[in-house]
Structure 1
Amino acid sequence: MSDEQGRDLSALAGVASAVGALAPPVTIATSLMLYFGWARTAEQARFMGVDVSLFGYSTQDYVLRSIRTLYIPLLVVAAAVLCWLAVHHRVLKVLETRRRGLRVAGRALFATGLAALAAVVVVATVQRAFLPLVVPLVLAVGTVVAAYGAWLTRVTGDAKAPAPPWHNALRKLMVGSMITLALFWELSLYAGVTGRGYADELAATVHTLPRATAYSGESLGIEAPNVVEERLDTGRHRTTGLRLLVRSGGRVFLLHDRWNPVNGRVVVLPDNETVRWQFSR
């Protein structure tokens, strides 16, 4: 094999390694965004008085709907992971020269993580309404800190008989499961808050949605505040007082003027040729 072929193979191996390293984080981020988009949209729909399944959103729709509110938390998590990797790299460098000090630090981290977990469980049990968004976040961070402290204590301790493979595998599974469940719990709570926030924001800005005027051969029979239907001289019906919310899943979703989450109504009409639409500002 020539030197040039060797360099090409090394470059391809580097690209494959980079792609392999990026694939798991991208997959996890996409899954979180999909779940968050669905949870946020479901909470917003519930607050509006409809079920999210009516909208017929696709996977792409849910991911796109999560980007606006989720990219900042994801960036914060990515920055925190990068900082941890930098600290861990430094720990590995001084592992042999400062073994005793790192052992003390590991024990302190382990105790701190366990204390945080115990404290948040007690607070959540006694005062359930106390900062619900903080509880799963502390559970995730406390688990990470305790697990890292336990690892640091093990690698800096005296040589002992190695644990059986199933023990290490079970420990990793439990730690990973707890962190994952806590993060999904956090996302669920955060999605609920943002979903209700979007519903409130929609009520305040419904007047900025496009005006929708429907022309149909038959009466649409819409019974909603501020919606007016009149019969034209041509025999067709014109319905006004509607605002376009979204067009999805073969349906047109509309709100009426001065809609609000308390007593407002969401109008759902089939998206076909029986109704001709006119939109304006």
Structure 2
Amino acid sequence: MVLAGLLAFTRGVIGILVPRVARTEAIATTPVALGFGAIALAYGFWLLRTVGIRWDRSRQTRGVVTEDPAEGDTPPRTGGDLADWLESPAVRQIHRYALACVAVTVVAGSFWTVNSFAAAYGRGRALDDAESLTFRPEVVLYTKESLRDLPDGVEQTTLPKVPTDLFRYRYRGLRLLVESNGRLFLVPAHWVAGTSRTLVIPYDNSVRIDLVAR
């Protein structure tokens, strides 16, 4: 148990110290290795301490002096030194400190594990959203001013000037990625990771949008 805990804890430390390992590992391998290693080490040392105390006490109980000691001689000890040391206040205090360190490591590893799974879930949702953009309602965007640096696949049309209509430009081929804090995040229907840009438009009276079902 101690050996397994030591190996697992060492793997977790390597994942912390070597960023390349953490980037290429399976989800939450490093925090799980840290938590499991700390628990296994603590349990293994507890087993060793418990077995050591019982073995030494049992050896002391079974010890028999075959000859009567001469007057004034001290009877030989048949055990108990190891058990006394393992149950000493110093060892007990070290044991409590070790348990506190294990608890801190397990709690930190648990939060790290949850965060890793949440990040992986978020990346998965983002990939699903990117693959399903073509099936979302099309956003037809009307603006008062012309937009620059349009993403590939977005079509701009200049509308006839009408006194009652302040919106002069129309944009097709957009999908709504998300709306947050009064802003629209629009992406082209055929979004390509690493090359396609995102339009961030204020969602106020300077724009108008129509949604076209696909």
Cα displacement (A) at 1:119: 5.7
Distance 2:14 2:155 in 1: 56
Distance 2:14 2:148 in 1: 55
Q: How do 1:45-194 residues align onto structure 2 when only pairs under 5 Å count?
A: 109-118=1-10, 128=21, 131-133=25-27, 134-154=29-49, 157=53, 158=83, 160-163=87-90, 167=94, 170-194=97-121
Q: What CA deviation, in whole Å up to 9, does each residue of 1:42-95 have, x standing for no partner? A: xxxxxxxxxxxxxxxxxxxxxxxxxxxxxxxxxxxxxxxxxxxxxxxxxxxxxx
Q: Secondary structure at the match of 1:255?
A: strand
Name the structure with the higher helix share: 1
Aligned with 1:245 (options 152, 166, 177):
177
Corresponding residue number in structure 2 for 1:221: 148
State whether structure 2 residue 91 is matched by structure 1 residue 199: no
Q: What CA deviation, in whole Å up to 9, does each residue of 1:149-173 have, x standing for no partner? A: 3345545634622348864553233
Q: Secondary structure at the match of 1:174?
A: helix
Q: Specify every segment of 5 or more residues in structure 2 that has no aligned partner in the other structure, as ranges.
A: 54-82
Q: Against the structure 1 CA distance between its residues 130 and 254, is the aligned structure 2 distance closer, same or farther, given a 3 Å change threshold? A: closer
CA RMSD of aligned residues (A): 3.2
**Number of equivalent positions:** 172
Q: Against the structure 1 CA distance between its residues 270 and 144, is the aligned structure 2 distance closer, same or farther, given a 3 Å change threshold? A: same
| 2:25 maps to amino acid | L
Q: Secondary structure at the match of 1:230?
A: strand
Q: Secondary structure at the match of 1:246?
A: strand
Distance 1:110 1:169 in 2: 18
Contact in 2 for aligned 1:200/1:261 (Cα 8 Å): no
Corresponding residue number in structure 1 for 2:202: 270
Cα displacement (A) at 1:186: 3.6
Q: Against the structure 1 CA distance between its residues 120 and 215, is the aligned structure 2 distance closer, same or farther, given a 3 Å change threshold? A: closer
Distance 1:148 1:209 in 2: 54
**Identity, % of aligned positions:** 28
Distance 1:256 1:228 in 2: 10
Cα displacement (A) at 1:241: 1.1
Corresponding residue number in structure 1 for 2:137: 210
Q: What CA deviation, in whole Å up to 9, does each residue of 1:94-131 have, x standing for no partner? A: xxxxxxxxxxxxxxx33432243346657997x93763
Larger Rg: 2
Corresponding residue number in structure 2 for 1:10: none
Larger RCO (alpha carbons 8 Å, 6+ apart): 1
Cα displacement (A) at 1:139: 2.0
Contact in 2 for aligned 1:228/1:239 (Cα 8 Å): yes
Distance 1:244 1:119 in 2: 43
Q: What CA deviation, in whole Å up to 9, does each residue of 1:214-251 have, x standing for no partner? A: 12222233511111121222362221111011111121
| 2:182 maps to amino acid | G
* TM-score, normalization by structure 2: 0.64
* TM-score, normalization by structure 1: 0.51
| 2:35 maps to amino acid | A
Distance 1:183 1:261 in 2: 32
| 1:277 maps to amino acid | I
Cα displacement (A) at 1:270: 0.8
Corresponding residue number in structure 1 for 2:79: none
Q: Specify every segment of 5 or more residues in structure 1 that has no aligned partner in the other structure, as ranges.
A: 1-108
Q: Against the structure 1 CA distance between its residues 268 and 154, is the aligned structure 2 distance closer, same or farther, given a 3 Å change threshold? A: same
Distance 1:138 1:164 in 2: 27
